[in-house]
Structure formats: structure tokens, C-alpha cells
Structure 1
Amino acid sequence: MLYWLMKHIFLGPVLKVFFRPRIIEGAENIPKEGGAILASNHLAVSDSFFLPLKLSRRVTFPAKIEYFTGTGIKGWLQRSFMSGVGQVPIDRSSASAAQGALSTGVRILREGKLLGIYPEGTRSPDGRLYKGKVGVAWIALEAGVPVIPIAMFGTDKANPIGSRMWKPTPITIKIGKPLDFSRYEGLSGDRFVLRSITDEIMYALMELTGQEYVDVYAAKAKEDQAAAEAGAVEVPAQQDAKSADRVPETKAG
């Protein structure tokens, strides 16, 4: 009920007036029923608000648990808002907690629902498309569902990183053709398979969005950016491929 009220009575009408979101390609690629992963590029927090507005089916996005643990009136309002826009809390404070978050995604999909995921793991720091984390592949194989690439345009201008006020900007959405990974059934424990699937998803997103692709995790790019801004000198380190592709590693945006 709260989701319906947010979408149709409170938040939805306001967003439609000021941002005029529209799907310009591929609306027919969203299944009318059954579970599916909507794997989107991630330019702004508002990505999770605009996509559900244009779909008749509910979309559930995982969100960091800190959004749901506030106290007092402010905490209650934040929890109500996040629940109302279709987000569920996930704990990513430890490896076991992160695995639980992935399992929650599988449960949602097995219930026949749509699950929104940002394979980059966090917002792009500069508008480019960054390396995907393999959690999305693990969830897809465990749940046995297709992955549908989603391209968001304009949200970074409407809701720039660090801004408190949103700027009225037209938002457009492209929906790609479903990606079927059933040929890898039973191989969710193979990190090479997971990396292959994830790279295929990111390639589809690159083609759909037109973004420049960077073969580095967005979180690492943010760390390097922060270090540079602080005047620190960083010595590049070799990344361990095995640890980089170990499940779990999906984070909420």
C-alpha cells in the first residue's frame, strides 16, 4: 500500500511533473510476470526512483541498512520513504552479512518479483561505466532468471553527486533485451563463469548507454579520487584477481 501511495499519490506525480521520465526504447522487454533482474547503470541516487515510475510492475531495490536504522521522527520518515519507493534493507558490514543480502535477492526473484541491481556496486564518480561486481551473476544463476540491462540518462544532472537540491531535467530510459544465462546453470560457484557473465552484462550496458567503460571498480576509482584530492601520493597496487571475483561483493548504491 505504501509503495502504491508513493508511486501514484505522493512522490510519483511530483517527479513526473518536474522530470518527465519516459522510456524511449525497449518497454516490451520487461516481462509481464515472473522474476527478472533489472541491471542498471548507476549515475545518481534518484535512479531507483525514476525507473519504477515507468513500469506497471513493482521493482525492489536493495539499499544499505543505514537508511533504515535512524531514530526519532527523522529516522521514521526515512524508513517510511525508502520502504515506500520499493527498497529493502541489506547489511553489508561483513562477508556473512553480504552473503545474506545476496540470498535476499534470490528470495525476491524466486517469489516472481523484479529486482533492481546496480552491478557497478556504487554510483559512477564521473559518468563513466565501471567494472561490474559478480554478485549480480551469482544471483541470476541461483534464481534462474534473465538479466535485463537498463540505461538511465539525465539522473546525474537532475541529482548531481553531493547536491541537496534536485534540478528539473528530462529523464530518459532505455531497456535492453533480456540476457539468458541458463547455459551456465549449476555453475554459480565458478568464479570464472561469474566473471564472464558479469562482463557480458557490462558490455550490454556499455552498448545501451554509450558510456565509456573503465576496467576498474567504481569504489576503487572513488578511493583514488579522494586520495588525489587530499594530496596523497598513491602507489598502484596489483589487484588479486581471485579476491576481486569472490562472492559476495554486490553493494547497494
Structure 2
Amino acid sequence: MIYGAMKVAIGGPLKLGFRPWVEGLENVPAEGPAILASNHLSFSDSFFLPAVLDRKVTFIAKAEYFTTPGVKGKLTAAFFKGVGQLPVDRSGARGAGEAAIKSGIEVLERGELFGIYPEGTRSPDGRLYRGKPGGLARVALATGAPVLPVAMIDTEKIQPPGKVMPKLMRPGIRIGKPLDFTRYQGMEQDRFVLRALTDEVMYEIMKLSGQEYVDVYATAAKRQITEEAKAAKAAEKAAEKAAEKAAAEQAEAKERSGS
């Protein structure tokens, strides 16, 4: 009931204001469990995809969204619960992964749709990064649920980092045909199987999205970008100090020659 009300309150304005285009809705089963494995370009991905579906889709969200104190925190928690988000404590990497897998399995065992971002985090530059094999593959193999590759298109352009007001433009969503991995069931502990399954899904997402694929994890790419930005800033400061020192020495030399 809460989900239905929130879907009307949020999904309606999203569809009216941004008019997202969709391809492949017929690939989403009318009933029964399925996994929606999507690329991740923007915070808004978890809202645009549910907005265009007739069925409820549940994603994993950071536990902090549900535990922040104060009025704003309570409103945020109510919002995320209303749109079908499940809280997961990500303070410990392994514990967070296990909790996400357990939550995904529970959603699918209820015959519902489970949404997951195999990259594990938002793309830092719009490219498609290597999928993490733990979550998606293990949930798929534990439940036998079909995996639908999903491509979000241009959602990162709606509200780029640092922009307060979103840009009104049409994002796109492409939903691919379901992938059946029941041939791998019972092989959840085989890391080569987990890797192969994940790579197959990422390849389908790449074909749907048209993104350039980068065979490294997005978290590693983000660290590298942050380190490069820090290095560039340090170099800029060093150059400024060197220029100031050179100007001071030049002024001092002029003063001496004038005397």
C-alpha cells in the first residue's frame, strides 16, 4: 500500500516531467521472480526504473538512509521504504555483501523483482566497469531466477555532480531478454563460474547501453581519479608557491639593483 502510494506520488511526476523512453518492457515477466541487473550512472536510476514498471522492484540501499536522526532523517527513511529500498549495513565489506545477498534471495523467494547494480557503485565517468561476481551471480544461482540485463541511458546528464537543479531531459531505459543460468546451479562456490556469469551479464548490458567497457572495478577507478585529483591539486599549489617565490626573488633583485 505504501509502495503504491509512493509510486504514484514519485513515479507519476517523474514520467510526466522527464518522459523516459523505454524499450523491452515485454521482457519483464508479469509474475514470478526475476533479477534486474543494471548499469549505474546516477542516484536517480533506482527511481526511473521502478517508475516505468508495473511491478514493484526492490533495490539495496545504504543503511544510513534509514537511520539518520531528525525530521529530515525520518522523511528520508520513509521515502526509501516507500519506494521499495532495503537497508544494508555496509560498514564491513564482507558483512555487507552477505546481507545484500540474503536480502536479494528473500525478495526473489517471495516471487518479486530484485534490482542490483553489478558494478557495485556509480560509474565515475559514464563508462561501464567490471561487474563484481559475488552478489549478482550468487543470488542468481541460489534462486534460479532469470537475469534481465538493463541499460540506463543518459541519467547521469540529468543531475551531474555539483548541480542542485536537475536538467529536464529524456533518459532512456533498455531491458534485455532474460538470461537463464540454471545450467550453473549448485556451482555457487566456483569462482570461475561466478566470474563467467557476471561477465556474460555485463556484456549484454554493454550491448544495450553502448557504453565503453573498462575491465577494472569502478571502486578502483574512483580511487585513482581521487588520487589523481589530489596530485593535480598538490602540483598546482606547488607551482603557485614556486611562482610566488620567483616573483619575490625577482622583486628583491630589482630592489637591490636599484639601490
TM-score by length of 1: 0.88
Whether the aligned pair in 1 keeps the contact of 2:11 and 2:52 (CA below 8 Å) is no
Letter in 2 for 1:51: L
Residue 72 of structure 2 corresponds to which residue in structure 1? 74
Residue 105 of structure 2 corresponds to which residue in structure 1? 106
Higher RCO, Cα 8 Å, sep 6+:
1
Residue 167 of structure 2 corresponds to which residue in structure 1? 167
4+ residue stretches of structure 1 with deviation over 6 A?
Answer: none
Count of residue correspondences: 231
Whole-Å separation in 1 of the counterparts to 2:72 and 2:58 = 23
Residue 212 of structure 2 corresponds to which residue in structure 1? 212
Whether the aligned pair in 1 keeps the contact of 2:36 and 2:150 (CA below 8 Å) is yes
Residue 141 of structure 1 corresponds to which residue in structure 2? 141
Residue 48 of structure 1 corresponds to which residue in structure 2? 46
Residue 20 of structure 1 corresponds to which residue in structure 2? 19
Structure 1 or 2, whichever has the larger Rg, is 2
- Compute the RMSD of aligned alpha carbons: 1.4
- CA deviation profile, 1:52-85 (whole Å, cap 9, x unmatched): 1111100001011111111110110000111112
- CA deviation profile, 1:28-63 (whole Å, cap 9, x unmatched): 100111111000110000000011111110000101
Whole-Å separation in 1 of the counterparts to 2:214 and 2:83 = 30
Whether the aligned pair in 2 keeps the contact of 1:40 and 1:152 (CA below 8 Å) is yes
Whether the aligned pair in 2 keeps the contact of 1:39 and 1:116 (CA below 8 Å) is yes
Give the match's secondary structure for 1:230: helix
Give the match's secondary structure for 1:38: strand
Whole-Å separation in 2 of the counterparts to 1:6 and 1:122 = 25
- Paired residues for 1:1-253 under 5 Å: 1-8=1-8, 10-23=9-22, 25-94=23-92, 95-134=94-133, 135-231=135-231
Where structure 1 has 5 or more consecutive residues not aligned to the other structure, the ranges are: 233-253
Whole-Å separation in 2 of the counterparts to 1:154 and 1:7 = 22
Give the match's secondary structure for 2:231: coil
Whole-Å separation in 2 of the counterparts to 1:96 and 1:44 = 25
Letter in 1 for 2:55: R
Whole-Å separation in 2 of the counterparts to 1:45 and 1:155 = 9
Letter in 2 for 1:147: V
Whole-Å separation in 2 of the counterparts to 1:45 and 1:119 = 15
Where structure 2 has 5 or more consecutive residues not aligned to the other structure, the ranges are: 233-259
- CA deviation profile, 1:67-117 (whole Å, cap 9, x unmatched): 111111011000011111211101122223431221111111111010000
Whether the aligned pair in 2 keeps the contact of 1:35 and 1:109 (CA below 8 Å) is yes
Whole-Å separation in 2 of the counterparts to 1:164 and 1:182 = 45
Whether the aligned pair in 2 keeps the contact of 1:91 and 1:98 (CA below 8 Å) is no
Whole-Å separation in 1 of the counterparts to 2:227 and 2:74 = 35
Whole-Å separation in 1 of the counterparts to 2:197 and 2:97 = 20
Whether the aligned pair in 2 keeps the contact of 1:44 and 1:161 (CA below 8 Å) is no
Whole-Å separation in 2 of the counterparts to 1:20 and 1:142 = 36
Whether the aligned pair in 1 keeps the contact of 2:15 and 2:52 (CA below 8 Å) is no
Whole-Å separation in 2 of the counterparts to 1:228 and 1:20 = 37
Letter in 1 for 2:192: F
Mark the CA change 1:198 to 1:17 in structure 2 (over 3 Å): closer, same or farther: same
Whole-Å separation in 2 of the counterparts to 1:221 and 1:74 = 32
Whole-Å separation in 1 of the counterparts to 2:147 and 2:162 = 30
- CA deviation profile, 1:177-198 (whole Å, cap 9, x unmatched): 1010000010011111000000
TM-score by length of 2: 0.86
Residue 249 of structure 2 corresponds to which residue in structure 1? none
